Amino acid sequence: MIGIDSLKTKIAANDAAQRKSAKAAYQSWRDTLTTAERLRAANAPLSGDALKASLVAIAESGVPNKLGSRDNALYSSNFGHLSLLIAEDAPNKRLALQGRYIVGQVLNQCRGFTTEQRRDVMVSVISAYWGNVTTGLVQIPDELWHTGLSRQVIEQWAECLCPELLEEQRHDEMANRAAYSFALNSIQALMPAKPQLFTVKRSDDEMVYVRNTRGGSVGIGQIVFKGDDVTPLTALQYAEVQEEAAYTNNVASGVLHVVTPEDAATLITEGGA
């Protein structure tokens, strides 16, 4: 059994280690921000290796789960400022993301937030809409990718979250740029689900209906498409079968055909430059 004194010592040591880690993380943020500012001042584009280095530094320093809490406002502000610097020079790869899907992710991020903090989230989204930003995300160790959120999508997002603030932002477009860190953090939370991030368009029930035009069942992954019948798929299921070569081959040969909606889904990693 651990004695009281030993336990106190152990707790104190853990606290000291956590403080040291937090201080190091904060310094990493400051160093990265300084580098970004210097690059901007020198009119050097924050792209390629410089962009990747900045993003890796961010990821390795650790991102707080709730960036906008009042007790780490400075940390949050630095993150938001740096993310905007990166966004200005990130590649403009455009993607289609459904506002309603993102709203669900953002609301999950807001659990336990105070009313004031939730308001910050709403403001951040609307600020992102007005800034029409392109967000750089990193997945350690090597994969670097970018998403461009269109004005239309972010406007949907903003109106769903907090329509009354949209009017406020029309009079002061980027007054709350620092709060944008909330939006970036929410988008970053989507990283683990990247292969499944599809958007279902023009479908009332948000389902994709795929017809097997021939007799005999076709099994792809966990899905079985019965012969001469229509199989309903959720966006997630549709995303999973899209990853299978067998699905692509069957679509190309005309065996499988998306009945509705016609432009059923778009993978998050697709999109024109």
User: Cα separation of 183 and 189, whole Å?
Assistant: 10
Q: Which amino acid is at 244?
A: E
pLDDT tens for 44-91 read 444 444 444 444 443 333 333 333 333 333 333 333 433 433 333 333
User: Of 228, 231, 234, which Cα lies nearest the Cα of 210?
Assistant: 231
What letter would DSSP give residue 200?
-
pLDDT at 207 over 50: yes
% residues pLDDT > 90 (the chain): 1
| For the chain, domain boundaries | 4-196, 198-273
* pTM score, whole prediction: 0.28
**pLDDT for position 268:** 30
The two tokens of residue 124 are 């951040």
**pLDDT for position 216:** 84
More confident: 15 or 97:
15
User: Cα separation of 251 and 212, whole Å?
Assistant: 9
User: Cα separation of 145 and 128, whole Å?
Assistant: 19
Return phi, psi of residue 40, to 5°.
Answer: -65, -40
Q: Hunting for tokens 């669900």 — which residue is that?
A: 104
Segment of 20-34, 122-136, 156-170, 244-258 carrying the highest mean pLDDT: 244-258
Q: Hunting for tokens 């709730």 — which residue is that?
A: 66
pLDDT mean over 125-136: 35
| Sign for the pseudo-dihedral over CA of 154, 147, 209, 261 | positive
More confident: 38 or 57:
38
pLDDT at 172 over 80: no
pLDDT tens for 213-242 read 887 889 988 889 988 888 888 766 776 776
The rounded mean pLDDT for the chain is 49
User: Cα separation of 184 and 267, whole Å?
Assistant: 20
**pLDDT for position 247:** 81
**pLDDT for position 125:** 45
Beta bridge partners of 149: 95
**pLDDT for position 111:** 56
User: Of 232, 269, 227, which Cα lies nearest the Cα of 250?
Assistant: 227
Measure the CA angle with vertex 112, ends 110 and 118; round to 5°: 45
